[in-house]
Amino acid sequence: MACDLSALSNLDPTDPEAAQRLLDQCTAALTDPSLWIWAIVFTVVCAAVGALIGKYKNAVARDALLGAALGPIGWIISLLLPAHKPAPKCAACGKTVDAGDKHCRHCGARL
Kindly give the residue spans of alpha helices, DSSP state H, lying in the chain.
5-9, 16-30, 33-57, 60-70, 72-80
Does pLDDT of 1 surpass 80? no
Domain boundaries, the chain: 5-80, 84-111
Is the overall model pTM greater than 0.85, yes or no? no
Max distance between CA atoms of the chain, in angstroms, equals 83
Alpha carbon 75 to its chain centroid, in Å, reads 9
* pLDDT per position as a tens digit, 40-74: 999 999 999 999 999 999 899 999 999 999 999 99
Nearest 5°: the CA angle 86, 62, 55 is 65
92-to-7, 32, 83, 88, 97 alpha-carbon distances in Å: 72, 60, 26, 12, 11
Per DSSP, the three-state class of 103 is: strand
* pLDDT per position as a tens digit, 77-108: 999 999 888 788 888 888 888 888 888 888 88
User: Using an 8 Å Cβ cutoff, are 108 and 97 in contact?
Assistant: no
Report pLDDT for 13. Answer: 85
